[in-house]
């Protein structure tokens, strides 16, 4: 039986970012994810310096999310993906918790240093929450100095590699770093970062490659939600039937 995947990173709820442009498009992306084995999908709209989470934007996102979640063929939860900025350091990180967890998803800036990321992750830590660092393998700071990823992980922060990086869709350098982070178990999660039909929220193809390279027992925890403390109902049911 194919495993049930948990995907902590996607842009399937319309939010004004570069993800799903409408509720209908978002529903289609979620249904596609379900067909490819995802049982729990976290929608994580961007919170960018130029696209902040105003009260009106948040209300619109939550309305779209509420209209989608009963029509998508999987369990849809809401979170956010933060691009670190000094302004976010003035906010309570609890506002941005990923639903049903004590996690906050944030990305390493694609260009430039990671100082704001470290500061935001420290603030999150101090609030009793745990940072999840999105796609470090795609960022200038980590590509220029891969040891930075190790330093982030050593602080107890979770690192999430994109499935598309492992598939080579963001270039050879990102693929090499992504695979290295898995090989050395620096990264603990693989997420889709799915945005649109040309970049869908799929995990199954990457999972097959990871199984081929590392074996199923080692591969599964990167995909099954265990690193997030989230268990799909199908996985829980199988465990119960085995008396676990």
Band (1; pLDDT cuts 50, 70, 90):
low
Spatial distance between the Cα atoms of 200 and 34, rounded to a whole number of angstroms: 11
Per residue in 39-77, pLDDT tens? 999 999 999 999 999 999 999 999 999 999 999 999 999
Per residue in 183-208, pLDDT tens? 999 999 999 999 999 999 999 999 99
State the average pLDDT for the chain. 95
Helices (H), 15-129: 23-35, 55-68, 115-126
Beta bridge partners of residue 159, listed in sequence order: 133
Task: Give the model's pLDDT for residue 241.
Answer: 39
pLDDT beyond 80 at 243: no
Task: Give the model's pLDDT for residue 235.
Answer: 54
Least confidently predicted of 1-5, 113-117, 233-237: 233-237
Per residue in 118-134, pLDDT tens? 999 999 999 999 999 99
Task: Give the model's pLDDT for residue 240.
Answer: 39
Beta bridge partners of residue 126, listed in sequence order: none
Segment holding 237, helix H or strand E: helix 233-241
pLDDT beyond 80 at 136: yes
Q: What is the pTM of this model?
A: 0.94
Domain residues of the chain, as ranges?
5-241
Spatial distance between the Cα atoms of 150 and 190, rounded to a whole number of angstroms: 16
CATH fold of 5-241: TIM Barrel (3.20.20)
Task: Give the model's pLDDT for residue 236.
Answer: 46
Per residue in 8-21, pLDDT tens? 999 999 999 999 99
């Amino acid at each position: 039986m194919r495993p049930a995947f948990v995907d902590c990173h996607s842009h399937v709820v319309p939010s004004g970012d570069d993800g799903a442009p409408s509720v209908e498009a978002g529903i289609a992306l979620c249904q596609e994810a379900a067909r490819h084995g995802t049982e729990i999908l976290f929608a994580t709209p961007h919170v960018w310096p130029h696209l902040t989470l105003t009260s009106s934007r948040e209300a619109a996102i939550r309305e779209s999310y509420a209209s989608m979640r009963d029509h998508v063929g999987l369990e849809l939860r809401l979170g956010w993906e933060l691009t670190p900025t000094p302004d976010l350091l003035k906010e309570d990180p609890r506002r941005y918790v990923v639903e049903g967890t004590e996690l906050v998803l944030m990305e390493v800036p694609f260009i430039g240093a990671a100082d704001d990321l470290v500061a935001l992750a420290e603030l999150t830590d101090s609030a009793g929450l745990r940072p999840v660092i999105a796609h470090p393998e795609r960022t200038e700071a980590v590509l220029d100095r891969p040891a930075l990823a190790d330093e982030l992980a050593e602080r107890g922060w979770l690192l999430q590699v994109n499935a598309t990086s492992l598939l080579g869709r963001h270039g050879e350098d990102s693929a090499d770093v992504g695979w290295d982070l898995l090989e050395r178990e620096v990264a603990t999660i693989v997420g889709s970062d799915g945005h649109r039909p040309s970049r869908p929220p799929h995990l199954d193809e990457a999972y097959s490659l990871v199984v081929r390279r590392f074996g199923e027992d080692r591969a599964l925890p990167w995909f099954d939600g265990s690193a997030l403390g989230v268990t799909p109902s199908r996985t829980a049911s199988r465990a119960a039937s085995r008396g676990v």
